[in-house]
Amino acid sequence: MTYQTIVIDNGSFHQKVGFAGSIEPFVEKSTRHNSIDGIEDTWSQCFYETLRVNPEDHPILLTDAVLRTPEEKQTAAEIIFETFNVPALHIAPQSILSLISSFAYEEVEPSDLTGLILDSGHSSTNVVPVVDGRVLTSKIKSLNVGGKQIISHIQQHLRKRKEPMPNNMQLEIATSIKETLTYVCPNIEKEHIRFDGNPEKHVKIYQGIEKKTGERFECQVQHERFLAPELIMEPKLIDESFTESLAEMVDNTIQSCPVDTRRRLYNNIILSGGNTSFPHFEKRLQKDVKELIHDRLSTSNAIEGIHYNSSDLKVTEVNVSKNHAGIFSAWFGGSIVASSSDFQSHCFTKENYEEEGAYFFRKNDAFNIPF
């Protein structure tokens, strides 16, 4: 007898696991896996200790990072079948699942699944174009800047001011500040002026309790409130070798795609990952991308000798939106897909594995999404 499908979304910092048809995962666990190595123990804990199920009874939908190597995909499939003896497996790209989750339970056709997924997690930020349900793999842009660098930046500011923090809690404090007290500003120079003009209003106090002694402590959170998230918007602040802003990454990615797809991509930029949850993130990105398009069109018209008022320029519509599922967007997309009536007919079964082996998962055909 086969039971409900289990959906597993693996990230470099968090893993989400739960049953198909649910809105949110059953559990979200911290992980530290930058590759498929070492993931077997984590899956074992999820099956036997967290979900308390026998994986031999449950089909698995496993999400897949777009830049994972074919060898890693094959290894994951081998672990799933050899170690846990599951009846069936389906692997799907996180980017497409995030796009699907933005439609929730609406009827979706492959032609609807066109958009640009901007996913910013703990270790990296990826810009992934999807056209008619297919990832344009050669057009993906990736940046090794994520939540890890933001947290480190906050720690540096707190240490520099010698804020009274317990040494054994610095990482925890910086992480909590990132998640609760930071925001993306419209303009970094103007924000400095606004902040310094009324520090009593903008400086926040972080309060905590020292774990060992139980004593309360507090520290000020100052300019890092907006400077730390700016590292995502302007990566060159970390390293001058980064030549593109986040908006330029988005714009250049879309411009590299086929001409007849560009308007649709600009019109559906979907945010995914924890770093895109910063207040005002989507407004800033939308504004910056619009400005790039406007400047490019103005320059082109000037070269051609065409003179218009800025208000007359017909600018491509740009829509940037947060996925309503937030950090669970890829998992929720997997939940929707795995609860469809014909999902299991799209799975690679244990019998298939015994006949063909896991080499199948090196091929793009393994990532077709059932509609």
Number of domains in the chain: 3
The predicted model gives 278-295 an average pLDDT of 96
Write the pLDDT tens digit of every residue in 76-98: 999 999 999 999 999 998 888 99
C-alpha 359/C-alpha 371 separation (Å) is 24
Range of the domain at 161: 147-233
Check whether residue 218 and residue 338 sit in a common domain.
no
Question: Cβ distance 144 to 166 under 8 Å?
Answer: no
pLDDT of 108 strictly over 60: yes
| Rg, C-alpha atoms of the chain | 23
CB distance 174 to 149 below 8 Å: no
In a domain, 1, yes or no: no
- Amino acid identity for residue 71 in this structure: E
Instruction: Determine the pLDDT at residue 315.
Output: 62
pLDDT tens-digit readout, 294-334: 998 887 766 766 655 554 445 679 999 998 888 899 999 99
pTM: 0.86
CA angle 114–349–340, rounded 5-degree value: 45
In a domain, 316, yes or no: yes
**281-300 average pLDDT score:** 92
In a domain, 238, yes or no: no
347 in any annotated domain: yes
Instruction: Compute CA distances 156 → 81, 93, 227, 263, 351, whole Å.
Output: 45, 35, 12, 41, 54
Q: 126 has which bridge partners?
A: 119, 142
Are residues 332 and 309 part of one domain? no
Instruction: For residue 53, give both structure tokens.
Output: 């199920």
Average pLDDT, the chain: 88
Contacts of 252 (CB under 8 A, 6+ apart): 141, 244
Within this chain, do residues 334 and 298 fall inside the same structural domain, yes or no?
Answer: no
Same domain, 123 and 251: yes
Tokens 């600018």 belong to residue: 315
| SS3 state of residue 102 | coil
Is residue 117 in some structural domain? yes
Mean pLDDT lowest among 106-110, 131-135, 149-153, 182-186: 106-110
CATH number of the structural domain spanning residue 129 = 3.30.420.40
- The tens digit of pLDDT for each residue in 239-275 reads 888 999 999 999 999 999 999 999 999 999 999 988 9
How confident is the model over 124-171, as pLDDT tens digits? 999 999 999 888 989 999 999 999 999 999 999 999 999 999 999 999
Retrieve residue 73's tokens.
């995909």
The mean pLDDT value for 342-356 works out to 90
Same domain? 92 vs 120: no
Q: What is the CATH number for 198?
A: 3.90.640.10
